[in-house]
Structure 1
Amino acid sequence: MLTPNSLSIEIERRERMESRQYIRRPHPVLMAVILFLSILEAMLAFTPENVPYSSLGSFGPLFARLVYYHSAFLQNIFFLAVTLNAVTGFAAYRLARSRGIENPARFKWCLHCLLFGVFSLRYLIAFNRTSSTGSTEIV
């Protein structure tokens, strides 16, 4: 039979387990937009002949002009974005470790921040492992 004390201990144990495995993804629409724009940027920088400019609507002529006149700039922007996301992924791994999140979830945080950058990192920054009452809290 569960007593009120044993029930509160069990709830506290589950909350601690959930906080160690905490992972939260960005909104799926935001994830799709970020992936689309990342792939488009890579295509514009490295394979501009494969980009369907006519399918991009009013952005097509703008992107064609950028590719024709500023291809080195597009490549630099791509490498800068990859570098920033790599740094963000490393920071997310370290931050997750300092927040008490265990290894499988820590790796997921690193991967999400590597792919989605600060849009994923903001959830980890807002996560507090325990509040003053001992329960998991998201600010």
Structure 2
Amino acid sequence: MAKSDSYSYFKRTSLFWLVVVTVYVGFYTWMVFWPQDVPYGSLGPLGALAKHLVDNHYPLLYYGWFLMWVIHLFESLFAMKICSDKGIDSTSTRLLWFAQTFLYGFASLGLLLKYKPDGRSKRH
């Protein structure tokens, strides 16, 4: 990577995390908003656990769903600070980091935290 590339550094999270987080958030959303439609019996041990949580801890699931998105929002805002600290100044690149971190959380933020820009392009 050239020294000036930190201006627009972006790396997409791995396909593994894209799939895992999408399936998890999708299933969690399904459990919270349409629990009557989840085929618990067809999901084996996961279905039994999901049914137990819906039946016995629904308020925790419901508020936890909103908390999950608040946490992702704060991770995204933290990603903006990290972009600034690492000299990533391109608006479109920063928006990519924000969106990816909002949707995939630490799977995205971890890539940004690992990034080591050239010392000359880093701001203090």
Q: TM-score range by the shorter chain?
A: 0.7 to 0.9
Separation in structure 2 between the aligned mates of residue 62 and residue 118 of structure 1, nearest angstrom: 25
Aligned pairs (5 A) from 1:76-91: 76-91=63-78
Separation in structure 2 between the aligned mates of residue 55 and residue 45 of structure 1, nearest angstrom: 18
Separation in structure 1 between the aligned mates of residue 57 and residue 33 of structure 2, nearest angstrom: 12
Q: What are the ranges of 5 or more consecutive residues in structure 2 without an aligned counterpart?
A: none
Q: What are the ranges of 5 or more consecutive residues in structure 1 without an aligned counterpart?
A: 1-13
Coordinate RMSD, CA, aligned: 2.0
Separation in structure 1 between the aligned mates of residue 77 and residue 11 of structure 2, nearest angstrom: 17
What is the CA-CA distance between 1:100 and the residue it aligns to? 1.4
Separation in structure 2 between the aligned mates of residue 18 and residue 79 of structure 1, nearest angstrom: 36
Separation in structure 2 between the aligned mates of residue 127 and residue 74 of structure 1, nearest angstrom: 34
What is the TM-score of this pair, normalised by structure 1?
0.78
Aligned pairs (5 A) from 1:44-123: 44-101=31-88, 102-123=90-111
Q: Does 1:39 align with 2:26?
A: yes
- Structure with higher RCO (Cα < 8 A, 6+ apart): 2
What is the CA-CA distance between 1:45 and the residue it aligns to? 1.3
Separation in structure 2 between the aligned mates of residue 89 and residue 48 of structure 1, nearest angstrom: 29
Separation in structure 1 between the aligned mates of residue 48 and residue 117 of structure 2, nearest angstrom: 49
Runs of 4+ aligned residues of structure 1 deviating over 3 Å after TM superposition are none
Q: Percent identity?
A: 26
What is the CA-CA distance between 1:73 and the residue it aligns to? 0.7
Q: Which has the larger radius of gyration?
A: 1
Q: Does 1:126 align with 2:114?
A: yes
